[in-house]
Structures are given as C-alpha cells and as structure tokens.
Amino acid sequence: MVKNIAVIRGDGIGPEIVNEAIKVLDKVAQAYGHTFNYTDVDMGGCAIDKYGDPLPVSELQKCVESDSVLLGAVGGNKWNDVPGHMRPEKGLLRLRAGMGVYSNNRPAKIWPQLADASPLKKSIVEQGIDFIIVRELIGGIYFGEHKTEGDTAVDVLRYSESEIERIGRIGFETARKRNKKLCSVEKSNVLDSSRLWKNVMHRLSAEYPDIELSDMLVDNCAMQIVKNPAQFDVVVTENMFGDILSDEASMITGSIGMIPSSSLGATTCGLYEPIHGSAPDIAGKDVANPIGTILSAAMMLRFSFDMPNEADAIENAVSKYLDAGYRTADIMCEGMTLVGCKQCGDLIVSFLTKE
C-alpha cells in the first residue's frame, strides 16, 4: 500500500522527534510491504523565518492533498514578540481549520512500566488510568473574534448546535467502541454556550440508548481527574476546556512526552501529533522523548490508513522498550538505563517485528 504523508517537523525539538517517528514508519513499511512517501511542510516559527507567514497557502495545500499529516511541534521564545496574528500557533489553528479536523482525540493511559512515574498516589494509580478526551478543535474561543480596544480586550466564545452535535457524535461513537460511558464536560452554571452544549448532548443521548451519559462541570472535572481518574472512559468537551484538561490528564500518566493525539474530521485525512510543545530549552540536545510522536504515527496507521496490525506492532515495540528498562530523561528513574532521543528511536525500531 502506498500512502503520502505530509511531514511538519516544526520548531524546537520538533525535527528531532519527527525524525525518530519516521525511522519507525520506515521499519513498518519494510516489514509489511508498504510505501510511505514523505513531503516536507514548513509551519510555525520556521515558516515565519522563511516566508514571513506561519503557514503559507502553498504549504497548507500540501497537507490537504496528503493522506495524513505528521506534526512535531511549533513555537518558541524566538517568536514571542511577533504580532498576534503572525504567531507560530496561528499556523496550527489555520492548519486545523484548513484540513477540517474538528475532533481531537487524546488518550490518557498509563503504561504499567511507568506506574511509579505518576505523581498520583499508588492507591489511585492501581485503580487504573485509561480514558480518552474528545476535544472540539475548530470552534469556541480560539476561533472567535479577538480584539483589544484601549485597556479592554475581548475574546468571543461561540458555538452552534451543528458544531456541538458533530463532536458529540464522535464522543458517543468513541464510547460505543470502548466501555459505553461518556462524560460531557461544560460550565453550564455560568455560560450560555455550555447550556447549549448540555442541551444538544442530552438530545443526542436519545439516539445512543446503550451509552451512559453523565454531565460534569469543568472545574469539578479538573479535580476528579487527579482524585479518581478511573471513573472516566470517554470525556467530550469544547476546545479550551479540552486543551487544559488533556494536558492535566497527560501528566497523571507519568510524562507528557508519552501522549499521542489524533485530529480527524469528515475524511480519513488526519493530523497526528504529540500533545507536548516545542521545548526550545532542550532542542538540539538529543534528550527529548520521541515516544509521543512515535505513538502518534501508530494512531495514523490505525485510524487513517486502516493498518491495525502495523499500529499494534509499534505499540508493542514501545512496550518492549519500556520492559527492557530504557528511559529518556523525562521518565528516568532509579535502576533504568538513560538514553537519548536518537537511541530511543533506534531501540524501538530494533524491537519492532511483524505481528
């Protein structure tokens, strides 16, 4: 099978972690007889430096025309002083909108080998951490009107019923494939947009009688994720809430460097990236953890390319790597063997066999 992948290495540690993910994809291609063609795309700070634009139309077009997109990370202190509409992160927002990917799915699953790395008490971790946050990606306050007049700034949070319904269906369908529990998170005691969100979710619930729907206010959810994460299976929420909660959820699993994500819309062309940032303070030092990016590549194979066996092979290789006691600095603990970014990728490749 031939697949065309747009590759956005981006800024900071982005190029390093993407390189390791490509090593793994190349091993998959060799083992299973596939061909992965890579097209480099400039986005973020590097695109600002090169084009004066965080995502030129020509670069976006490469992504839209691909079978899927693999992204490292964008941004950094170097571009903090550029105008707001030109910041590296604006390229990411433009990419999501241009690809029409409205559902961002972020798993929070603790690997048993990393149980001791969780900041939570052992008694909480032992109950299990395995849930997924389904985040609406191209609506809400990030895409509303933004303006500053004098000493007053305004950011508009807006959602339509259709936007809520389409992400709500993703939440219900995801729950149907897992443990049939869906928690809808909002702030309906304060926000009109959240009251609309809650109403739409309950209307949709009638179409999914096999799914147990619950409601939770976002501040309570933030608390419950650290108090009792085992209660969650699938969480569906709006853009900003999902951004914050998914970062919190990633840290209770031991390291943000381990967490992949997928962003999908109406087609199989998806955007796959680790949830961490560009970490410019460690860029070029060969200490970054590439596993979040490698697992994002596995999600691409599973959800966009219909290659479940190949995705399993990558995930099993990561598990074997952890079983062997190798750790990058972010998850290093006593008795383990410290490795760098490149060696981590090489080792995972060595553990990857055809399932």
Q: By the 8 A CB rule, do 273 and 213 touch? A: no
Mean pLDDT value across the chain: 95
User: In this structure, are 278 and 352 located in the same domain?
Assistant: yes
| Domain boundaries, position 95 | 1-102+267-355
Whether the per-residue pLDDT at 17 is higher than 90: the answer is yes
260 in any annotated domain: no
- For residue 10, give both structure tokens: 């981006």
238: helix, coil or strand? Answer: coil
User: In this structure, are 199 and 150 located in the same domain?
Assistant: yes
249/106 Cα distance (integer angstroms):
9
Residues 55-87: tens digit of each pLDDT: 999 999 999 999 999 999 999 989 988 887 788
User: In this structure, are 222 and 273 located in the same domain?
Assistant: no
User: In this structure, are 307 and 243 located in the same domain?
Assistant: no
How many Cα atoms are found within 13 Å in the side-chain-facing hemisphere of 200? 24
Number of domains in the chain: 2
8/18 Cα distance (integer angstroms):
8
Q: By the 8 A CB rule, do 282 and 312 touch? A: no
Residues 80-98: tens digit of each pLDDT: 888 877 889 899 989 998 9
13 in any annotated domain: yes
User: In this structure, are 77 and 41 located in the same domain?
Assistant: yes
User: In this structure, are 159 and 191 located in the same domain?
Assistant: yes
107 Cβ contact list (under 8 Å, min separation 6): 130, 131, 132, 259, 260, 261
How many Cα atoms are found within 13 Å in the side-chain-facing hemisphere of 259? 26
258 in any annotated domain: no
User: In this structure, are 84 and 157 located in the same domain?
Assistant: no
Which domain CATH number covers 188? 3.40.718.10
Q: How confident is the model at residue 177 (pLDDT cuts 50, 70, 90)?
A: confident
**Domain boundary, last residue among 225, 252, 279:** 252
User: In this structure, are 46 and 170 located in the same domain?
Assistant: no
Whether the per-residue pLDDT at 212 is higher than 80: the answer is yes
- Percentage above 90 pLDDT, the chain: 85
10 in any annotated domain: yes
**What pLDDT shows up at residue 93?**
87
Stated pTM of the model: 0.86
**Domain boundary, last residue among 218, 252, 286:** 252
**What pLDDT shows up at residue 255?**
78
Residues annotated catalytic, as ranges: 142, 187, 219, 243, 247
User: In this structure, are 201 and 248 located in the same domain?
Assistant: yes
**What pLDDT shows up at residue 247?**
86
**What pLDDT shows up at residue 266?**
86
Residues 224-244: tens digit of each pLDDT: 999 999 999 999 999 999 999
Average pLDDT over residues 293-310: 95
**What pLDDT shows up at residue 84?**
75
96/300 Cα distance (integer angstroms):
16
Whether the per-residue pLDDT at 184 is higher than 90: the answer is yes
**What pLDDT shows up at residue 82?**
82
257 in any annotated domain: no
- Percentage above 70 pLDDT, the chain: 100
How many Cα atoms are found within 13 Å in the side-chain-facing hemisphere of 7? 21
Q: How big is the CA angle at 257 (ends 255 and 258), to the nearest 5 degrees?
A: 80
64 in any annotated domain: yes
User: In this structure, are 236 and 152 located in the same domain?
Assistant: yes
Whether the per-residue pLDDT at 14 is higher than 80: the answer is yes
**What pLDDT shows up at residue 151?**
98
User: In this structure, are 225 and 286 located in the same domain?
Assistant: no
196/202 Cα distance (integer angstroms):
10
User: In this structure, are 215 and 135 located in the same domain?
Assistant: yes
**Domain boundary, last residue among 227, 252, 277:** 252
If phi > 0 it is left, if psi is from -120 to 50 it is alpha, else beta; for residue 168 that is alpha
261 in any annotated domain: no
Residues 107-119: tens digit of each pLDDT: 999 888 988 888 9
- For residue 49, give both structure tokens: 């430096």
92 in any annotated domain: yes
